Amino acid sequence: MIPERRSPNLLLSVIVPAYNEAATVESALRRVRQVALRLEIIVVNDASTDGTREILERLAGEGLVDRVISHEQNRGKGAAIRSGIAAATGDVVVVQDADLEYDPSELPALLLPIRARQADAVYGSRFLSGPHRVLYFWHYIGNKLLTLLSNMFTNLNLTDLETCYKVVRADVLKRLPLTSNRFGFEVEITARLAQARARIWEIPISYSGRTYAEGKKITWRDGLAALFHIVRYNLFVPGKLDTWRLPAK
């Protein structure tokens, strides 16, 4: 049980990277806005060509979205997230995919360890007994292998490296030297948090994964790239570590 020694009135910046998500982005954003938290919703349109941009402009006009950032060229999910991080003004930051795979109603629970000042980052794990849609066996095995390899480098005992739900204190997140443009972001942020000596918790979440017919974008090529990124981001630390590492606790 997490104690009730909380930081009240936290503002949660929700960064929503969106690339050709016209079919789901409005539903996802309306579900986020219904969450009973103080929210700042920042959507980064990564040069969509399917009408996503027009939907976002309408929702911003309605006040559903606080800010829309548009990339004129497609730069990848990691680049979209970094644009959102730079614009975020909240106390805590989380990424919310625009595809309805993750349930925003679980965000309050993910915030609890940070509110209790016990964590700097909280990962929502799809493999800690939460309900989930049954889909691809090889995706599951791939994630397990990537998580294992990452843990060997970071000395963490995470169960879900590739989860979208990584809730991080903004003051910690903004000091990390993040550079990834694509799906390597998940590997990079985990490596940097470990190098920064951040306190990380995991909490079980539900998961309703998409099929490729429904618009899933990650492929086996991204999995192979993640192997390279695990070695790269864990062995090569940019700049002087002491300039962005957290004090020992």
pTM over 0.85: yes
Rg (CA), the chain: 17
Q: Quick one: which of 188, 233, 217, 243 has its CA closest to 46?
A: 217
Asked if residue 156 is part of any domain, the answer here is yes
Instruction: Please give the Cα distance from 60 to 55 (Å, whole number).
Output: 9
Q: What is the pLDDT of residue 4?
A: 46
Asked if residue 95 is part of any domain, the answer here is yes
Q: What is the pLDDT of residue 210?
A: 46
CATH code for the domain of 63: 3.90.550.10
Instruction: Please give the Cα distance from 163 to 180 (Å, whole number).
Output: 16
Q: What is the pLDDT of residue 9?
A: 85
Asked if residue 180 is part of any domain, the answer here is yes
Asked if residue 72 is part of any domain, the answer here is yes
- The count of structural domains within the chain is 1
**β-strands 92-95, 38-46: how paired?**
unpaired
- CA separation, residue 81 to residues 13, 102, 235 (Å): 12, 16, 23
Sequential pLDDT tens for the chain (249 residues): 454 445 568 999 999 999 999 999 999 999 999 999 999 999 999 999 999 999 999 999 999 999 999 999 999 999 999 999 999 999 999 999 998 889 999 999 999 999 999 999 999 999 887 666 655 677 778 888 999 999 999 999 999 999 999 999 999 999 999 999 987 999 999 999 999 999 999 999 998 864 545 445 566 576 688 888 999 999 999 888 888 899 876
Q: Which domain holds residue 198?
A: 11-235
Q: What is the pLDDT of residue 224?
A: 80
Q: What is the pLDDT of residue 239?
A: 83
Q: Which H or E run includes 125?
A: strand 121-125
Q: What is the pLDDT of residue 216?
A: 53
Asked if residue 40 is part of any domain, the answer here is yes
- CA separation, residue 9 to residues 48, 117, 162, 167 (Å): 34, 14, 29, 16
Handedness of CA 211, 148, 238, 244 (dihedral sign): positive
CB-side exposure of 47: number of CA atoms within 13 Å?
8
Asked if residue 1 is part of any domain, the answer here is no
153, 191 Cβ separation under 8 angstroms: yes
- List of residues 6+ apart from 240 with CB closer than 8 A: none
Asked if residue 2 is part of any domain, the answer here is no
Asked if residue 137 is part of any domain, the answer here is yes
Instruction: Please give the Cα distance from 38 to 103 (Å, whole number).
Output: 17
